[in-house]
Amino acid sequence: MNKKIALILFPLTFLLGLALPFLPAWTDRDDYYGIAVDNPVPPLELADSQIDNGLRVLFFGYRNCGTVCPAQIVNLVQLQQRLRGHPVEFVFITLDPERDSEEVLQRAASVFGPSFKVVRPESTLLAQNLALAYGDTAARVQSATGYEFDHTANLYVVTTGWRKRLIYTQPVLDLDRMESDLQKLLQTI
Amino acid sequence: MTDLSPHTQDQALLDTLRNDKQMLGILLLHFPVLAFIIPIGYGTMNFALTASLLVSLIAAAGYWFLRGTRACSALFAICLMLSSAIMIQTQLGRLEMHFHIFAALALLTIYRDWLPIVVAAATIAVHHVLLTLLQLGTASLGDMPIMVYNYGCNWGITFIHAAFVVFESAILVFFALRMGAERAQAYRMISIVQAFSSKQDLTGRLPGNTPTAVAFNDMLERFCQLIARLRDLSKQLGDNAEQLAQVSSNTEEIVEQQQQQMERAATATNEMSDSVQNVSCHAQGASEAAVSATEGADQGRQRMDEAVQLTEETNRILGQALGAVTELENKVSSIAQLSDQINDISDQTNLLALNAAIEAARAGDSGRGFAVVADEVRTLSTRTRNFTDQIRQTTGELRSVSDGAISAIKNGQQRSADTTGAVAHTQQVIVQVQEAIRAVSDMNTQIASACEEQAATSAEINRGIHQVVDRNVDIVSESGRLNTMARGLDESIEQLEQMIGGYRTA
Are residues B82 and A24, on separate chains, in Cβ contact within 8 Å? no
For the domain spanning B230-501, the CATH number is 1.10.287
Q: Based on the domain organization, do A39 and A25 belong to the same domain?
A: no
Quickly state the pLDDT bin for B343 (edges 50, 70, 90): confident
Q: Which of A20, A132, A136, A156 to mutate to test the interface with B (most CBs of B within 10 A)?
A: A20
Percentage of chain B beyond pLDDT 90 is 17
Q: Quick one: average pLDDT of B65-69?
A: 89
The span from the CA of B382 to the CA of B13, in Å, is 181
The mean pLDDT of A45-53, rounded to a whole number, is 81
- B89, A24: Cβ pair inside 8 Å? yes
Percent of chain A with pLDDT over 70: 98
Give the Cα separation of A129 and A122 in Å (integer). 11
Separation between Cα atoms, residue B451 and residue B437, nearest integer Å: 20
**Gap from A105 CA to chain B (nearest CA, Å):** 23
pLDDT given at position B50: 92
Is the model more confident about A82 or about B275? A82
What is the least distance, in Å, from the CA of B167 to any CA of chain A? Answer: 23
Quote the CA–CA distance of B86 and B409 in Å, as a whole number. Answer: 182
According to DSSP H, which parts of chain A are helical?
A: 2-19, 23-27, 68-82, 102-112, 124-133, 175-188
Please choose, from the candidates B152, B174, B30, B147, the residue with its C-alpha nearest in 3D space to the C-alpha of residue B90. B147
Q: Backbone phi, then psi, for B201, in 5-degree steps?
A: -100, 120
The answer to whether the beta carbons of residues A21 and B141 sit under 8 Å apart is yes
What backbone torsions phi and psi does residue A167 show, to the nearest 5 degrees? -130, 135
Residue A168, helix vs strand vs coil: strand
Q: What is the mean pLDDT of residues B72-97?
A: 89
Which one of B43, B147, B152 has the shortest CB-CB distance to A36? B43
Predicted pLDDT at B11: 79
Q: In chain A, which residue's Cα lies nearest the Cα of B56?
A: A13
Same domain, A3 and A53: no
pLDDT tens track for B232-253:
888 888 888 888 878 877 887 8
If one counts every other C-beta atom within 10 angstroms of the C-beta of residue B431, the result is: 12
Query: pLDDT value at position A157?
Result: 93
Burial of B203 (0-12, 13-18, 19+ CB in 10 A): middle
Cβ-Cβ contacts under 8 Å, A37 against chain B: 42-44
Question: Model-level pTM?
Answer: 0.58
Residue A141's nearest CA partner among A100, A91, A95 is A95
CA distance B275 to B269: 9
* Total count of domains within chain A: 2
Q: What is the distance in angstroms between the Cα of B147 and the nearest Cα belonging to chain A?
A: 8
Q: How far is CA B344 from CA B257, B341, B386, B389, in A?
A: 112, 5, 12, 11
Residue B209 CB neighbours (<10 A): 9
> Across all residues in chain B, what is the average pLDDT?
83
Q: Taking Cα atoms as reference points, which of A15, A24, A43 lies closest to residue A134? A: A43
Q: Which of A13, A38, A69, A148 to mutate to test the interface with B (most CBs of B within 10 A)?
A: A13
Backbone region of residue A16 per phi and psi (left: phi > 0; alpha: psi in -120 to 50; beta: other values): alpha
pLDDT at residue B148 greater than cutoff 60: no
Backbone angles phi, psi at B197, to 5 degrees: -80, -30
What does the pLDDT average to over A53-65?
A: 89
Residues of B in contact with A150 (CB under 8 A): 151-152
Spell out the residues 6+ positions from residue B189 whose beta carbon is closer than 8 angstroms to its own.
B206, B216
Which residue of A lies nearest to B81 if distances are taken between CA atoms?
A: A17
**Positive or negative: CA dihedral A25, A28, A30, A36:** negative
Cα gap B458→B174, rounded to integer Å: 101
- The pLDDT of residue B360 is above 70: yes
Whether the CB-CB separation of B76 and B115 falls below 8 Å is answered with no
Q: Give the amino acid at B232.
A: D
**Cα–Cα distance for residue pair B100/B322, rounded to 1 Å:** 182
pLDDT at B150: 58
Q: Residue B144: its pLDDT value, please?
A: 55
- Is residue A67 domain-shared with residue A21, that is, in the same domain? no
From the DSSP assignment, how many helices (H) and strands (E) are in chain B? 8, 2
Higher pLDDT, B140 or B21: B21
Q: Are strands A163-168 and A155-159 parallel, antiparallel or unpaired?
A: antiparallel
Q: Which among B74, B86, B92 is the nearest to A20, CB-wise?
A: B86
Range ranked top by mean pLDDT from B322-326, B466-470, B476-480: B322-326
Mutate to test the interface with B, among A95, A147, A152, A164 (most CBs of B within 10 A): A152
**Facing B55 at nearest CB: one of A16, A18, A164:** A16
The pLDDT-based confidence of B58 (bands split at 50, 70, 90) is: very high
Give me the CATH number covering residue A183.
3.40.30.10
CB contact under 8 A, B130 and A36: no
A interface mutation test: which of B90, B97, B150, B154 has the most A CBs within 10 A?
B150
Higher pLDDT, B207 or B59: B59
Q: Is A69 labelled as part of a ligand binding site?
A: yes
Q: Which residues contact B384 (CB under 8 A, 6 or more apart)?
A: B342, B343, B345, B346, B349
**Residue ranges per structural domain of chain B:** 6-199, 230-501
Question: A36 and A9 in one domain?
Answer: no
Same domain, A17 and A40: no
Burial class (CB in 10 A: 0-12, 13-18, 19+), B198: exposed
* Residue B149 confidence (pLDDT): 58
A65 in a labelled binding site: yes
Mutate to test the interface with A, among B92, B147, B153 (most CBs of A within 10 A): B92
More confident residue, B137 or B434: B434
Q: Which of B28-37, B46-55, B301-310 has the lowest mean pLDDT?
A: B301-310
Looking at beta carbons, which residues of chain A come within 8 Å of B78? 10, 13-14, 17
Q: How confident is residue B156, by pLDDT bands cut at 50, 70 and 90?
A: confident
**Which of B75, B85, B86 has its CB closest to that of A10?**
B75
CA dist., res. A45 & res. B283, Å (int)? 161
Is pLDDT larger for residue B58 or for residue B382? B58
User: Is the predicted pLDDT of residue B357 greater than 50, yes or no?
Assistant: yes
Q: Residue B1 above 60 pLDDT?
A: no
Q: Is A89 annotated as a binding residue?
A: no
Are residues A75 and A19 both part of a single domain? Answer: no
**For residue B4, what pLDDT band results from cuts at 50, 70 and 90?**
low
CB contact under 8 A, A17 and B78: yes
Assess whether pLDDT exceeds 80 at residue B319.
Answer: yes
Segment A39-68 shows an average pLDDT of 85
Per 3-state DSSP, what percentage of chain A is helix, strand, and coil (rounded to 5)?
Answer: 40, 25, 35
Q: Do A11 and A65 reside in the same domain of the chain?
A: no
Q: B108 with B150: CB under 8 angstroms?
A: no
Residues A116 and A173 in one domain: yes
* Global ipTM: 0.71
Chain A CB contacts of B86 under 8 Å are 20
Neighbours of B99 (CB within 10 A): 12
Report the C-alpha gap between B220 and A58 in whole angstroms: 75
d(CA A183, CA B9): 67
Residue B53: the pLDDT is: 94
Clarify whether residues A21 and A57 are in a common domain: no
For A140, name the nearest residue in chain B, comparing CA atoms only: B151
Q: What is the pLDDT of residue B298?
A: 83
What gap in Å lies between CA B318 and CA B131, rounded to an integer?
188
The whole-number pLDDT of residue B145 equals: 55
**Residue B47 confidence (pLDDT) above 90:** no
The winner for highest mean pLDDT among B93-102, B263-272, B405-414 is B93-102
Q: How far apart are CA B468 and CA B495, in angstroms?
A: 39
Judgement on whether residues A24 and A37 belong to the same structural domain of the protein: no
List C-alpha distances in Å: B103 to A151, B99, B106, B166, B216.
24, 6, 5, 14, 35
- Give the pLDDT score at B96: 84
Residues A103 and A181 in one domain: yes
Q: Is the pLDDT of residue B402 over 70?
A: yes
**Which pLDDT score, from 0 to 100, does residue B2 have?**
43
Calculate mean pLDDT across residues B364-387: 82
Do A74 and A127 reside in the same domain of the chain? Answer: yes
C-alpha–C-alpha distance, residues B12 and A9, integer Å: 24
Contacts of A33 in chain B (CB under 8 A): 143
- Comparing CB atoms, the residue among B41, B49, B142 nearest residue A135 is B41
3-state secondary structure of B288: helix
The pLDDT assigned to B6 comes to 66
Are residues B54 and A1, on separate chains, in Cβ contact within 8 Å? no
Contacts of B92 in chain A (CB under 8 A): 35, 135, 152, 154, 167, 169
- B-chain residues within 8 Å CB-CB of A14? 78
Higher pLDDT, B144 or B365: B365
Domain span including residue A10 = 1-29
